[in-house]
Structure 1
Amino acid sequence: MVKITFPDGAVREYEPGTTALDIAKSISEGLSKKVLAAVVNGQVWDATRPVYNDSTLKLLTWNEAEGKSTFWHSSAHLLAEAVEAQFPGVKFWVGPPVENGFYYDMDLGDRKVSEEDLAAIEKKMSELAKQGNPYIRKEISKKDAIKYFEDKGDEYKLDLLQNLEDGNITFYSQGAFTDLCRGPHIPQTGLIKAIKLTNIAGAYWKGDEKNKQLTRIYGITFPNQKELDEYLHMLEEAKKRDHRKLGKELGIFAFDDDIGPGLPLWLPNGAIVIEALEKLAKDTEERAGYKRVVTPHIAKESLYLTSGHLPYYQDSMYPPMELDGTKYYLKAMNCPHHHKIFAAEPKSYKDLPYRLAEYGTCYRYEQSGELFGLMRVRCLHMNDAHIYCTKEQFYEEFKSVNEMYLKYFKIFGIDKYVMRLSLHDASKLGKKYVDEPALWLETEALVRDVLIRTNTPFVEVQDEAAFYGPKIDVQIWSTIGREFTLATNQVDFAQGRRFKLEFTNKDNAPEIPLIIHRAPLGTHERFIGFLLEHYAGKFPVWLAPLQVKILPISDKFMEYAQNVLESLKNADIRAEIDDRPEKIGRKIRDTELAKVPYMLVVGEKEVNENKVAVRRQGKGDTGSKPVDDFIKETVVEIKNRG
């Protein structure tokens, strides 16, 4: 008998060779119908794979992320089977699950996939799913695997096989389709009840622009039609909120071929939003004891060699420019510059914690295929800061940074978030990570302690730390449920040594400070992109580029409108007059479409009573008010960032 230990600590005994699906059936028939895969001894397995030794077991359903991932991975294989039926001779590269759904890259030769083809493939997938074919795992030797794909003339799978070790190669088959795959997969295709192929795109083989462009088909599947319908509704809402579309309509930003890809131009309205965000950050940081600094956009190669960024980060930096035999790099990160500012003057323990803040401009060479509106750019303005502190001060400093995040979440109406604690991988020390195993464990424990003691929701992720220390990536969700990586909070135990940073401690001896890198509002680019989608372009009053539009009913009331405008501007309220010879209904509609928070309609009654008829974006008429009362209320709303 083998002993199976469940997540709650319960232990049951089963015959050797039993499967997770068998175990689920022994608990309840209903559970067995929901099981998609299982975690066996920490690894995700097929629910139909036999277990021969004592093991820990967690059953995975649609409710777990690993369950969804397995479901979508299996759906990618179902897509490939359907495509092979429609396009004989097709060759496949890779078909992984992604955040929402899956895709498969394929070589169709000279053939193109049309929207009509997509509908036919989707229909074929549904037919194949209803057959309820099992996903069958088969271990195969490398020699036999190579022969199989040589016979098929599939150079893509042969390329994948080059890097696989003999004895660790598996095929998966369902119906008439067989693929090279490490799995895992769901028990059978019949669990896939609702299917939608969402997009056709081009993708270079291995992501290299020099290679052949393959066809990539995206899709998503669900265990029932209701969830698919809800997802498609969310997609439609997301299209309306696409920051690229809204950014253009609202005059926030633009791209230009003569400037270059990934280098946004901030238009006047965008510059206003930037200034409002910077004011929020500067006000918050000033109260928190930060000192503001400004650093150059370029630096000598020696700075980034000292920091270690060139060996670890060079692929993401622009190539150097050379002057008088010295190489200079565009700044990809602010931290080395801030370290030099710390070192510019002697420090004692009385100066710590020492907090430096800057909205620094950085340049990163993102691959062209990864650029996406404001979300992935090559020029970014970062709400950056570095805190130099003692080990004893670390808890309070790191906690204060997290509390700053929470304050911002409240201001922007962000209700759902999680901190992702990114840890190192010990097998990659000296390659991807600084080779200081003891310091890695110590600093990871320090961060974990803060999160646990402050009851902060977090998850741990291996092999995603910064090269110089553990970090927290802040994951947030917009009002329609889209996930974003907003910002980061990092611990650095390496840079202080590299830059020979030190302060004089209480014993009058030199000591190296711990460094916290933090960027609560991330970059202007990513955060404004998020806000455009989060608010659907309807910024709160304090952030709106134009806060008030005055709508005179006719030219007779233009003088009064000008007086109202002057009063608003004197109160630092951003306002304009719609002086077009249009009917008031048209002016109201156009102002609604422009997403201006307040409209002030002025006519004969308003002039006689020294009032304005107030309309609020999305709410309509809210009644008449004296001009001074409206101004007082709006000034308070702006000040409080309501």
Structure 2
Amino acid sequence: MEKVMRQLANEDLSIVREEKSRDELLKMFHDNPFKIDKIRDNVPEGSGSSVYRQGNFTDFCTGPHVPSTSYLKNVKLLSLASTNYKGDEGREKLVRIYGTVFPTEKELKDYLRMREEAVKRDHRKVGQEMDLFVFNSERAPGFPLYTPNGTVIKNELVAFMRELNERNGWEEVSTPHIFTDTMWRQSGHYAKYKDNMYTFEFKDGTGYAVKPMNCPGHITIFEREPHSYRDLPVKYSEPGQVYRYEKSGEVGGLTRPRTFMIDDGHGFMRPDQLVEEIKSLIAMTRETFMLLGESKLDFELSVMDEEHLENYLISYVCGKCVTVFHARKVSSEGELQCPECGSLDIKPDLSKWREATDSLRTALKESGIVYEELKGEAAFYGPKIDVHVADAIGRKWQCSTIQVDFMMPVNFNLQYVNQAGKKENLVMLHRAVFGSYERFMAILIENFAGNLPTWISPMQVFIAPVSEKFVDYSEKVLAKLRKSGLRAHLDRGSETLNKKLKMVREKRPSYIVVIGERELQSEKITVRNRKNEQKEITIPEFVDAISKEIRQRSPTQSI
């Protein structure tokens, strides 16, 4: 297939756009049921669309396309995948072919090298080698199970975020995994996310849902007592497990599971506190991604498209009775009416959206951030900042998010008492710095190709006696290292040293300690780092050096 594609590219065939009516399209593709289906779904009666003609081949497509096939000489087909038409498991089986093309041969080769490196670093492959997690498609499809090694990594990330939260005024809370469906209806999640929620009902008719989000739980805690303007901001954080249904074809490793833990945070604050709190979160994000070493962060500001208000939950004001209400007007609903007087004289009030967007812009600028503004990409309840990180081989991952929300406080009537003694609606700030622990774990594993920094490595020290004669001394070394809080493992087997080192290679220990006759006589140890550099030192010297490296959460080795 590639050979034919390259021949067509060398022929420099023009690719021409032609406009056709719906009837003409149906006639042109009468023998292709899939095209007919697409035309009927996407081209209304009385209108038309485009086709693209390349030599004697014509295809129904809205485009755009390159001017000619000569632009596509540096092409490579990458893989095949089986899929069902429209993602419906009851429909026809189809084959999807993945490919790519680049302007130059060099760019294509660079991409293919990066792709090959990515396969070597794939967290699913590395995770299996390091024995980090289990995926069982029969018992828990899309639900990761963490082994002791994988749990070490997750717990270290939780501990890091817990420290970061404490230093920045975020108080930790804990919420249940299941709530009644009435809460999800009130929050607005039920209407928008029900198809992706795990819901069930008891015999008494009470409906429940496993949480896809943590915010309503945090709101419930905030509501337990009244708040003055002096009390704000109130900031809650939680390593909160959430559950979201994904189709089987969309589930993949730790980057797209059906359950994951978010370093979730929700700040309840006055509008005048937004800028400083957003700046604080930007600083937390920068500090967090230093864990990856030298990494580039890209910031995006997603804002409302004011020409399509139907996509957002906004305030409306009745021109007749001046009632203010909140709604998300979808196009199929027709005209909005005032809930009090029924008037159609309704005007949108975008002031809160604009103020929130300005707060995000100001925080980014005052933090010295160069950012890209994306019109129409805001969440339905407010504008947001998304952060992408580039890993060691240049791939970009979407991680952190900072979202302003002034609609959920309205849904739950969250208020504070201002300086004049009157109640005012507050603003919520949603944040996730890692994004999710699972995604960050995958990025971490692939960024370091499994050679994790010592502070987060499941096996910080691997002790390899040269022979069984040196096991007793090795046991003493093991005891001292573990007493110092290091994750150390001793190989008591009878295999040769080379075989022991070969067997442990896939587990990727941070340091290897070799113990033989010389070490026994000198009461020292020989330490080997990941660059295979060796150093003979005393146990206290090793413990001091490695402990400092761990305390600093250094991405590089100190020995």
Same fold (TM over 0.5): yes
Greater shift, 503-512 or 621-630, is seen at 503-512
Instruction: Give the equivalent residue in structure 2 for 1:225.
Output: 105
1:154 aligns with 2:32: yes
Over 3 Å counting, the alpha-carbon distance change for 1:462 and 1:204 in structure 2 is farther
What is the distance in 2 between the residues matched to 1:168 and 1:470? Answer: 36
- Aligned-partner Cα distance in 2 for 1:205–1:457: 42
Deviations 1:543-579 (CA, angstroms, capped at 9, x unpaired): 1011001111112211211111111111110001111
**Cα distance change of structure 1 residues 321 and 534 upon mapping to structure 2, 3 Å threshold:** farther
Who is 2:137 aligned against? 257
Q: Secondary structure at the match of 2:64?
A: coil
Paired residue for 1:164? 43
Q: Distance in 1 between matches of 2:429 and 2:279?
A: 11
2:538 aligned residue? 626
Matching residue within 177, 190, 194 for 1:314: 194
Residue 355 (1) aligns with residue 235 (2): yes
* Correspondence for 2:325: none
Look up the equivalent residue of 1:537 and give its one-letter code.
G
Deviation at 1:414, TM superposition (A): 5.0
Task: Assess, with a 3 A threshold, how the Cα gap between structure 1 residues 628 and 405 changes in structure 2: closer, same or farther.
Answer: same
Per-residue CA deviations over 1:409-456 (Å, capped at 9, x if unaligned) read 112225222122222344554555444633323322221222223221
| Distance of aligned partners of 1:345 and 1:313 in 2 relative to their CA distance in 1, 3 Å threshold | same
Amino acid corresponding to residue 189 of structure 1 in structure 2: T
Q: Give the total of aligned pairs.
A: 519
After superposition, where does 1:605-616 map in structure 2 within 5 Å? 605-616=518-529
What's the offset of the Cα at 1:291?
A: 0.8
Whether the 8 Å CA contact 1:433–1:466 is kept in 2: the answer is: no
Name 1:588's counterpart in structure 2.
501
Secondary structure of 1:515's counterpart equals: strand
1:508 equivalenced with 2:411 (yes/no): no
Q: Where do 5+ consecutive residues of structure 2 fail to align?
A: 315-327, 329-348, 555-559
Deviation at 1:590, TM superposition (A): 2.6
The percentage of counterpart residues that share the same residue type is 39
- Report the CA distance shift for 1:432/1:349 in structure 2 as closer, same or farther (over 3 A): closer
Are the counterparts in 1 of residues 237 and 264 from structure 2 also a CA contact under 8 Å?
Answer: yes
Q: How far apart, CA to CA, are the structure 2 residues paired with 1:259 and 1:500?
A: 42
Equivalent position amino acid for 1:160 in 2:
K
- Answering whether residue 293 of structure 2 is matched by residue 380 of structure 1, we say no
Post-superposition Cα deviations, 1:27-70, rounded to whole Å, max 9, x if no partner, equal: xxxxxxxxxxxxxxxxxxxxxxxxxxxxxxxxxxxxxxxxxxxx
Aligned AA (1:447): L
Shift of 1:395: 0.4
- Counterpart residue number, 1:290: 170
Match of 2:56 in 1: 176
CA contact (8 A) 1:312 1:432 kept: no
> Offset of 1:156 from its aligned partner?
1.4
Please give the alpha-carbon distance, in whole angstroms, between the structure 1 residues aligned to 2:370 and 2:48: 37
Whether contact under 8 Å (1:298, 1:330) holds in the other structure is yes
The alpha-carbon distance between structure 1 residues 430 and 312, as it changes in their structure 2 partners (threshold 3 A), is farther
Asked if 1:534 corresponds to 2:453, the answer is no
Tell me, in whole angstroms, the C-alpha distance in 2 between the residues paired with 1:608 and 1:323. Answer: 74
Q: Secondary structure at the match of 1:466?
A: coil
Higher relative contact order (CA 8 A, sep 6+): 2
In structure 1, runs of 5+ residues without a counterpart are 1-120
* 3-state SS, counterpart of residue 503 of structure 1: strand
TM-score (norm 2): 0.90
Residues in 2 aligned to 1:259 and 1:357: alpha-carbon distance in whole angstroms: 31
Partner letter of residue 607 of structure 1? L
Could you give the per-residue CA deviations for residues 475-516 of structure 1, whole angstroms, max 9, x where no partner exists?
Answer: 112111222111311110101111111111222221221111
1:237-636 → structure 2 map (5 Å cutoff): 237-426=117-306, 428-430=308-310, 433-434=313-314, 435=328, 437-617=350-530, 619-636=531-548
**Structure 1 residues 195 and 641, CA gap change in structure 2 (3 angstroms):** same
Amino acid in the other structure paired with 2:521: N
Question: Would you say 1:133 and 2:13 are equivalent positions?
Answer: yes
Contact 2:466 2:496 in 1 (8 A): yes
**Which residues in structure 2 correspond to 1:182-197 (within 5 Å)?**
182-197=62-77
Measure the CA separation in 1 of the matches of 2:280 and 2:139: 39
Residues 289-333 of structure 1, C-alpha deviation per residue, up to 9 Å, x if partnerless? 111100000001111111011111112211333353210100110
